[in-house]
Amino acid sequence: MLSIIFIIISAIFIPGVIAKIKSKIGGRRMPSVFQPLFDIIRLFKKGAIYSPTTSIIFKIAPIIYFSSVLMAAFFVPMAGQQGLLSFDVDFVFFAYLLALGKFMMIISAMDTGSGFEGMGANREALYSMLVEPAFFVLVGTLALFTQNSSFQDLYVNLHTSTQLSIIIGIAALYVITYISMVENSRMPIDDPKTHLELTMVHEVMILDNSGFDLAIIHIASWLKFAIYGTIISNFVVQSSWPIYIQIVSYLLIQMGYASTIGILESFSARNKMGKNPQWIIMLSAIAVVTFLTTLIITQKIILN
């Protein structure tokens, strides 16, 4: 129960921290950390407008997207604290819950009949498809390494004590951080601040959404950030620590994660659109190398 509460708390702060860091580095006056929250409240006050070409799919997609992301958040444990729901091989269910939400957004973008949105949907589908092997190989690696198959047990039994397991930890952190960038449509895959529809990926898909629908889409994106931040923090925070240290280090890691995104987005340029697939498949390649390392550790591959 504690995990979902903290995921929601960090989801509120992460976008504000990112905006703050970006404006600080850009030399602008910093907005309040709660500014994104005020924007959402403003959106909630407005009514949604639907284009006459859209169907029921466009209307229900944001709700399904939001609920699938919220449902996925239930499965994520926080340090030693159990997630709200947990069963064997729940990470597959987790991945496909996120995929369901994404699928709904893709078909809703295509439902609008706009060429731009179809193009964005196409890109989003491609990148999600390419990033999936990286996620599954990585979680499979961790499952093999810890001999457990649920999110909760996987992290509880993950001890990076030997030198080889440190490599697994570092590689897993690297891959998960960039998977989160791809899943959240941030740099270097997508620039959320771009103003040209031709170069957008995620933003172009939600051009037709307004008011309430747009607000819950934004909230779902924040939740996604918090979910991935929690997954990253689980690599560091150990379940054997006292609860208050766990919570403090969890919050610090979440803030560090948000600051890293802010710094990355301030200093790095976006990849060329054509180079995104190869960049994403590289994550899978590193995940495979990590998998091989696990095979050596668990002596499935015996070398002398």
Assigned token pair, 157? 């039994």
Give the C-alpha separation, 162 to 246, whole Å.
22
Interface residues for another protein in 2-21 (CB under 8 A)? none
Give the C-alpha separation, 110 to 121, whole Å.
7
> Of 46 and 275, which has the nearer Cβ to another protein?
275
136 binds another protein (CB under 8 A): no
> Of 243 and 292, which has the nearer Cβ to another protein?
292
> Of 244 and 299, which has the nearer Cβ to another protein?
299
Give the C-alpha separation, 10 to 228, whole Å.
11
Among 79, 236, 275, 298, binds another protein (CB under 8 A): 275
Among 163, 244, 267, 269, binds another protein (CB under 8 A): 163
Q: How far is the CB of 109 from another protein (least distance, A)?
A: 25
Distances in Å between the alpha carbon of 160 and those of 11, 61, 62, 184, 212?
Answer: 28, 41, 40, 28, 44
Count residues contacting another protein (CB under 8 A)? 22
Residues 6 or more apart whose CB falls under 8 angstroms from that of 110 comprise 117, 118, 121
161 binds another protein (CB under 8 A): no
Give the C-alpha separation, 286 to 288, whole Å.
5
With contact defined as beta carbons under 8 Å apart, do 186 and 265 qualify?
Answer: yes
> Of 217 and 283, which has the nearer Cβ to another protein?
283
Q: How far is the CB of 163 from another protein (least distance, A)?
A: 6
With contact defined as beta carbons under 8 Å apart, do 213 and 62 qualify?
Answer: yes
> Of 93 and 279, which has the nearer Cβ to another protein?
279
Q: How far is the CB of 166 from another protein (least distance, A)?
A: 8
Among 30, 164, 207, 263, binds another protein (CB under 8 A): 164
DSSP state at residue 203 = G
Q: How far is the CB of 285 from another protein (least distance, A)?
A: 5
Indicate the angle between helix axes 2-25 and 211-236, nearest 10 degrees. 100
Site string for another protein, 277-296 (x = CB under 8 A): xxx-xx-xxx-xx--xx-xx
Q: How far is the CB of 286 from another protein (least distance, A)?
A: 6
Give the C-alpha separation, 5 to 47, whole Å.
29
303 binds another protein (CB under 8 A): yes
Phi-psi region of 185 (alpha: psi -120 to 50; beta: other; left: phi over 0): left
- Give 56-116 as a 3 state SS string: HHHHHHHHHHHHHHHHHHHCCCECCECCCCCCCCHHHHHHHHHHHHHHHHHHHHHHCCCHH
Q: How far is the CB of 123 from another protein (least distance, A)?
A: 15
Q: How far is the CB of 126 from another protein (least distance, A)?
A: 11
Site string for another protein, 165-184 (x = CB under 8 A): --x-----------------
Q: How far is the CB of 301 from another protein (least distance, A)?
A: 5
Q: How far is the CB of 275 from another protein (least distance, A)?
A: 8
> Of 56 and 303, which has the nearer Cβ to another protein?
303
Residues contributing to the site for another protein (CB under 8 A): 163-164, 167, 275, 277-279, 281-282, 284-286, 288-289, 292-293, 295-296, 301-304
